[in-house]
Structure 1
Amino acid sequence: MGIPMKAAFAVATLLVATTGGTALADTTAGVDRKVVQQGLDEVVQAGVLGVQLRVTHGWEHFTARSGTAELGSNRPVPLNGRFRAGSITKTFVSTVVLQLVGEGEVDLDAPVVRYLPGLIDQRITVRHLLQHTSGLYDHNNALPFDPAGFEQIRYRHWEPEELVAISTSRPLEFQPGTKWEYSNTNYVVAGLLIEKITGRPLERVVEHRVLKPLRLNDTVLPRDDDRIHGPHAHGYWAIDGKPVDITRFNPSVFWAEGNIVSTTKDLDTFFAALAGGRLPGPAQQRELTRATAVSPGYGLGLSIQVLPCGTTAWGHDGGVPGFASLVLTTPDTKKRAVLSATTSARVGDPSPGLQKILGEIFC
């Protein structure tokens, strides 16, 4: 999701400037856990309340954390904690659309209005939605995501059509297919497409096609439930200089663009399966990871980057009020990282700590 809480973590998606290679003490499959822990501690020192991380190298993995789960408490961030993963939802939605493409239910290059007549500009294709090349105005830019403004709408229910209508009340930002620009509206429309084709709620379709087959038992797409069930850390932001717990809110405002609640383990399992070719068919897998001249760093619901040290990484980041997250995997799935952070009322730059962490894991 494109709101301020995400910004600091979007930087880390992919500005890893370190070249890696430190002491061999306390290593897991070549990753120095002390360096990783130092990076996590630096992230917290920069103003993040708490952070949890799952690292996989080859057949080995480990978890690490820093900070606390709540303001005024010494309770550590739960290593199996649930969190709002924001725009990582988009990768799940894109996966389902590509499955429908493989089954002949959807044509990737057909206009969206073939399936959803009159909803958006007739030149916009399904591919344009998943690739963020549609030109649709991002409806989030018209909503109050500043702390004081969001307080007024945090428990309101939103219908997806309302969110799309905010976008389509504005002209297109550019001609479809001519430019890349991140727009959350693309994935609200993609969610409506899934519901129209399957005749079922998006949440149930994702559950049936992805969550149950992969046994992602701690992952849900809540439509209106404002709670995070199970162990979790809390997120905060400042209103009039005072910290306010923003953990609970109605997630319908983020729906198919960013309402998922998950864990580092479940997201690691999902991205390993996705990168490993276990979800879309082979032809759709190639489309998933195909960058173009118009969209050089983004496939279909998947970020595709070459880190400064030369390592290619696939993944996505996410941010909603109180939470920021990041998933990265090498295409061969041998190196993977899933990170979730909860915000405090302090504002700082966690990028140096994140660069240290990701550089040690991937570079």
Structure 2
Amino acid sequence: MIDRRSFLVSSAAVAVGSAASARGIGGGKADAIAGIALPAGFNGIIAYARNGRIEHVRSAGFADVEERQPFSAATAIRWGSASKWLTSVAALRLVEMGRLRLDASIATYLPQFRADTGNRVLVHHLLSNTSGIPDLLSRQLASEPDLRTSTAATADIVARFGGGDLAFQPGDGWDYAALNWAIVAQILERVSGEAFPAVMRRLVLRPLAMSGAGFVQSDQRMVPNLAAAYGAVAPPVRKMATVPAFLAASGNVAGTVGDAVRAAHGIFHGPLLKPASRTELAKVRWPAQEYVLGGRIHPVVGEPWAWETGKVQAYRTHIAHRLARSETIVVFNTTDMEQSQIGSWVETIARA
């Protein structure tokens, strides 16, 4: 096990200096991070940032166990469902450009969609998982495993699986359905005229200087410094596979801890979104799940934090960001941990 705390220099937007620690800034956060009892075999990183600048970072274990390559701040991992948050930001940017409306129906942009459903389900229902459209796609995965490696176009997947009867009236229930996000991806492609990864790079990744981020799927370039993920580490057993492109909007982004900090600070405190869009992004749509557009808002000591989590195969991501002022906590893990354990660490750091 390699376990080290270090300061790093990442970029103009995300920089670290030991002087910040020497001044005692965020010392309680540093102590909280240092005090976490990492499980044996932990591979990952824990970081705390303020105003888009990483102040404390602790990395442990290996990005590649077989090659004994240490996990570091330059290591990228897959973000799983934290990708939905970025998808929602792209949608809001298209709203600001007048290309999309949150209160418009699916049929407005996809006239070929099943008529009764397409006219009743609105874009914000898809982005908040309150559409009522049954997730026939995820149900089919069990009996048709080849879907996991399918190169089918998003439009073909939506046409095949989007015709089910509504499970509940739009807005009256909540279902964490992957199909919602395939429909969102098709809408964004239709209104932008670009493939989904291209519109995401143009509207989100590049403006936020997420230089280490990309999409882990067969039709995209390999993400640099991507860590391996493990269902077991002694002996190492890898648990990782490419996710098809039609799920790009729900879980295919990968990036570094610096990318996560740049995203959180830039989305909530930078010029990327107008104030009205930031308000829409943080508006709770389904209180029982603390769910907003593509993520959650979770209270910590009475203050709202964006609470973006994700898992795909053995990758685990938690990006928490304090809305009242720019503080970001990031935990990456590649050893198939329970998400609740990671969440408890983030809560402890946030309260420190």
The normalised TM-score by structure 2 is 0.81
* Paired residues for 1:146-295 under 5 Å: 155-165=149-159, 167-225=161-219, 228-237=222-231, 244-252=237-245, 254-276=247-269, 278-292=271-285
Alignment match of 2:57 (pick from 34, 38, 63): 63
SS of the residue corresponding to residue 168 of structure 2 reads: coil
Which amino acid in structure 2 is aligned with residue 124 of structure 1? Answer: V
Say if 1:81 and 1:232, in contact at 8 Å, map to a contact too. Answer: yes
Q: 1:232 to 1:296 in 2, by over 3 A?
A: closer
Q: 1:171 to 1:254 in 2, by over 3 A?
A: same
Say if 2:48 and 2:57, in contact at 8 Å, map to a contact too. Answer: yes
Say if 1:49 and 1:67, in contact at 8 Å, map to a contact too. Answer: yes
**Identity percentage of aligned residues:** 24
Where do 5+ consecutive residues of structure 1 fail to align? 1-23
* Paired residues for 1:1-363 under 5 Å: 28-39=25-36, 41-42=37-38, 44-45=39-40, 49-57=42-50, 61-72=55-66, 74-120=68-114, 121-122=117-118, 123-138=120-135, 139-144=137-142, 155-165=149-159, 167-225=161-219, 228-237=222-231, 244-252=237-245, 254-276=247-269, 278-292=271-285, 297-307=290-300, 309-343=301-335, 349=338, 351-352=340-341, 354-363=343-352
Which amino acid in structure 2 is aligned with residue 142 of structure 1? Answer: Q
Say if 2:315 and 2:333, in contact at 8 Å, map to a contact too. Answer: yes
Where do 5+ consecutive residues of structure 2 fail to align? 1-20
For 1:142 and 1:32, how far apart are their aligned partners in 2?
44
Deviation at 1:109, TM superposition (A): 0.9
For 1:50 and 1:209, how far apart are their aligned partners in 2?
32
Higher RCO by CA contacts (8 Å cutoff, separation 6 or greater): 1
RMSD between aligned alpha carbons? 3.1
Q: 1:158 to 1:267 in 2, by over 3 A?
A: farther
The normalised TM-score by structure 1 is 0.79
Q: 1:323 to 1:103 in 2, by over 3 A?
A: same
For 2:220 and 2:272, how far apart are their aligned partners in 1?
30
| Aligned positions, number | 326
Q: Deviations over 1:238-258 (max 9, x none)?
A: 7xx986423442542532111
Q: Deviations over 1:167-223 (max 9, x none)?
A: 435432211111222222112111111110111111111111122222211111344
Question: Which piece of structure 1 moves more, 118-127 or 161-170?
Answer: 161-170
Cross-structure match for 1:15: none
Question: Which piece of structure 1 moves more, 247-256 or 99-108?
Answer: 247-256
Say if 1:130 and 1:190, in contact at 8 Å, map to a contact too. Answer: yes
Q: Deviations over 1:40-92 (max 9, x none)?
A: x42x33xx641112211456522211222234454321221111111121111
